[in-house]
Amino acid sequence: MLGIETEVLDIHDGELEPTLANRKTVTRLIREWKADVVMSHRPNDYHPDHRYTGVLVQDAAYMVAVPKLLPEVPALKKNPVFLYYSDRFQRPNPFKADVAVAIDEVAAKKLAAADNYSWKSATEGGFSVSAEGKLQKDGLVHVASTFGDNTSEIFIKGDKGAVKTEDGWKTAEEVADAQGPQRFLARMIQNFKSPAVQAQELAEKVSDLKKADEAIYGDLTEEGAKSLMTFGGRRGGNNNGPAISGAKGTAKFWVGADGVLTKVQYHVQGKMTVNGEDRDIDRTTTVDIKDVGSTKIDVPADAKAKLP
């Protein structure tokens, strides 16, 4: 997703030392990667592994361009940019940023890369629906939703799902041809998109993103507003979908101090014509993200039996 590759050195936790051998290893790796940017801990970090990593990278910062060291690996002709991670240590000197880079536009992508997270969503305007969900990086998802007086619960794993019914847990395939809410839930499983993915798609529907009051916001394009009014369904033309006019709306995104998306909200307005009947749409959907990295999903045994 992020295009990241890793290499783990054979050095155990708490045992890193700023030796000549390790200096050569760090120098060799930076050369082999032909790094443009190298980020490391500061040499005054309290943790010994972090501190000595900073020392090794600091020593390698010069040696990567010295040809006589490790002649078997070509020296870099241009030094990378070396940067320190931010930290809260105050002694012997506090961290001071020389460079600040905005990462707001990739906040949703960063959320998608998280091991897990939870969310709570609510839609108001014409009808009221709310949901609470949990997601793990292994593809396991749990969603409990409320629509009017009806409540529902589903689990998703990959392209399979389990739906809670009055007769117990059933697979999405078993309720796909049912009538009413169960059929809707089967389609929900089939078409499920995580909040992170939905946020990325929502950002693509905004004509121009701006930042103010700790939020990123912008006006939706007409086509973007139309798709949200119909929840991505059919619109007008000859496909028997509703005709939409005067579609407009806004979208807002909130990003935490760690660069991860924390909240999404969009508001749509317009007129929808269904079977000759005009309906004014004025709807707001809000999604709050929480417990990033600390979310756990417990699956009942009966539901687990319906999942791959």
Do 275 and 160 share a structural domain?
A: yes
Do 245 and 223 share a structural domain?
A: yes
Q: What's the pLDDT tens digit per position in 193-222?
A: 999 999 999 999 998 888 877 889 999 999
Question: 11 in a domain, yes or no?
Answer: no
Do 221 and 154 share a structural domain?
A: yes
Do 147 and 220 share a structural domain?
A: yes
Do 114 and 40 share a structural domain?
A: no
Question: 55 in a domain, yes or no?
Answer: yes
Q: Which domain-ending residue is among 86, 101, 116?
A: 101
Residues 130, 148: contact at Cβ < 8 Å? no
Do 198 and 87 share a structural domain?
A: no
Question: 146 in a domain, yes or no?
Answer: yes
Taking the C-alpha atoms of residue 171 and residue 156, their distance in angstroms, rounded to an integer, is 10
Q: Which residues pair with 45 in a beta bridge?
A: none
User: At 241, which CATH number?
Assistant: 2.50.20
Do 146 and 252 share a structural domain?
A: yes
Question: 15 in a domain, yes or no?
Answer: no
Indicate the helix (H) or strand (E) that contains 268. strand 261-274
Q: Which domain-ending residue is among 48, 79, 101?
A: 101
Q: Helix 195-204 crosses helix 222-229 at what angle (to 10 degrees)? A: 140
Do 60 and 182 share a structural domain?
A: no
Total structural domains within the chain:
2
Do 258 and 299 share a structural domain?
A: yes
Question: 30 in a domain, yes or no?
Answer: yes
Q: What's the pLDDT tens digit per position in 134-157?
A: 999 999 999 999 988 888 999 999
Residues 120, 287: contact at Cβ < 8 Å? yes
Residues 124, 283: contact at Cβ < 8 Å? yes
Q: Is the pLDDT of residue 235 over 50?
A: no
Q: What's the pLDDT tens digit per position in 43-59?
A: 989 899 999 999 999 99
DSSP SS3 for 220: strand
Return the pLDDT at 238.
44
Q: Which domain-ending residue is among 78, 101, 124?
A: 101
3-state helix, strand, coil in the chain (%, to 5): 25, 35, 45
Q: Is the pLDDT of residue 32 over 80?
A: yes
Do 187 and 78 share a structural domain?
A: no
The 10 Å Cβ neighbour count of residue 67 is 10
Which pairs from 130-133 meet CB under 8 Å and 24+ separation? 133/195
Do 97 and 167 share a structural domain?
A: no
Which structural domain range is residue 191 located in? 106-304
Do 131 and 280 share a structural domain?
A: yes
Taking the C-alpha atoms of residue 102 and residue 106, their distance in angstroms, rounded to an integer, is 9
Structure tokens at 158: 């990959």
Q: What's the pLDDT tens digit per position in 100-138?
A: 776 767 889 899 999 999 999 999 997 789 999 999 999
**Running DSSP on this structure, what letter comes out for residue 110?**
H
